[in-house]
């Protein structure tokens, strides 16, 4: 009878813990809005792993708290506890169960990872595969050695612009797939530059909702990392290599673009905005940019020196005051 009661209590407690964990997994509210298709996939995985973690957390912390209350030494009790060394069944259980769970997490993660890459083949995918070998000084002269044509172009630009003054790289849209909007991204201390074509270079990233976006990224000086928290994707931008990021924006709005890799003194100021536009707004915006470019090609670059590119509401005055070169 006593054993039955114990068993029932254990089953009830474990049931409650599982219920609480599942509830927390679904209602944690820890992530910002999911603005892209990949973010939705991500959130499902995150919430599931969080629920599992919450379950383990509740079990172990619960036992610790229970032990403190139940098993603390009472006054005058100098006795030892029971001499229990091991329990093979228990040990096999708590080795096997976590093994199964982590392997399942690994498979689920791999599944989500593959799905987040969309239809890409494994060699060039969402989270930044690399096609280029390490860039050599003479690499730019040999386009054929770099794989895609655009890679060679951008590598050339990268190498040509090893100063910190924000020399624009040549923007070339790889046009194998017309459904993909390709944008070249150049990262430098402490600004992002987005090239939509040979003419258009902007400090703000605009993308149309519902289209697959491909960012071909290059760094001018040091490592940077492109991150939009609402898209849940991140990729290092590496000098001498080209990295890629693909995503499909889903929710119209303005989101921060953050540099996540320490890139120097004003790393914290290296921010800009990504605008997910409706197709109409996007077309309108693109047209405006083209007009500005055709009126005065020099002005595009000149009107957006790095000091204004990272202009952000809270940093507006600050960045201008700091200047854009690192401390000498």
CB of 261 vs other proteins, minimal distance in Å: 6
Nearer to other proteins by Cβ, of 3 and 90: the residue is: 90
Nearer to other proteins by Cβ, of 52 and 170: the residue is: 52
CB of 300 vs other proteins, minimal distance in Å: 27
Phi/psi at 229 (5° precision)? -55, -35
CB of 116 vs other proteins, minimal distance in Å: 6
Task: Say if residues 152 and 143 touch (Cβ distance below 8 Å).
Answer: yes
Nearer to other proteins by Cβ, of 133 and 299: the residue is: 133
CB of 246 vs other proteins, minimal distance in Å: 13
Distance CA 89, CA 101 (A): 18
Copy the structure tokens of residue 261.
């890799």
Sort strands 224-228 and 212-219 into parallel, antiparallel or unpaired.
Answer: unpaired
Task: Say if residues 94 and 102 touch (Cβ distance below 8 Å).
Answer: no
Distance CA 316, CA 320 (A): 7
Copy the structure tokens of residue 284.
């309108």
Nearer to other proteins by Cβ, of 136 and 284: the residue is: 136
Nearer to other proteins by Cβ, of 68 and 302: the residue is: 68
CB of 69 vs other proteins, minimal distance in Å: 10
Give every CB contact of residue 34 below 8 A, 6+ residues apart in sequence. 40, 42, 43, 230, 232, 250, 251
């Amino acid at each position: 009878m006593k054993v039955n009661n114990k068993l029932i209590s254990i089953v009830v407690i474990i049931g409650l813990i599982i219920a609480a964990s599942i509830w927390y997994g679904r209602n944690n509210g820890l992530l910002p809005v999911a603005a892209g298709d990949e973010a939705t996939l991500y959130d499902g995985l995150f919430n599931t792993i969080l629920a599992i973690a919450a379950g383990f957390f509740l079990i172990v912390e619960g036992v610790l708290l229970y032990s403190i209350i139940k098993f603390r030494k009472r006054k005058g009790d100098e006795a030892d506890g029971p001499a229990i060394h091991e329990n093979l069944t228990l040990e096999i259980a708590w080795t096997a169960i976590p093994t199964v769970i982590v392997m399942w997490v690994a498979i689920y993660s791999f599944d989500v990872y593959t799905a987040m890459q969309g239809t890409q083949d494994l060699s060039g995918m969402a989270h930044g595969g690399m096609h280029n070998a390490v860039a050599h000084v003479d690499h730019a002269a040999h386009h054929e050695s770099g794989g895609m044509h655009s890679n060679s172009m951008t590598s050339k630009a990268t190498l040509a612009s090893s100063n910190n003054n924000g020399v624009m790289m040549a923007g070339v849209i790889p046009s194998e797939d017309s459904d993909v909007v390709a944008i070249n991204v150049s990262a430098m201390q402490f600004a992002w530059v987005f090239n939509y074509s040979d003419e258009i270079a902007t400090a703000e990233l605009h993308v149309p909702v519902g289209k697959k976006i491909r960012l071909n990224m290059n760094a001018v000086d040091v490592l940077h990392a492109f991150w939009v928290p609402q898209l849940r994707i991140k990729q290092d931008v590496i000098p001498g290599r080209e990295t890629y990021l693909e995503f499909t924006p889903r929710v119209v709005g303005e989101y921060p673009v953050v540099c996540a890799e320490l890139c120097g003194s004003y790393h914290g100021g290296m921010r800009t905005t990504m605008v997910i536009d409706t197709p109409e707004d996007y077309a309108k915006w693109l047209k405006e940019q083209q007009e500005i470019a055709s009126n005065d090609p020099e002005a595009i670059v000149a009107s957006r020196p790095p000091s204004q590119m990272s202009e952000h509401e809270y940093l507006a005055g600050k960045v201008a005051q700091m200047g854009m070169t690192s401390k000498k």
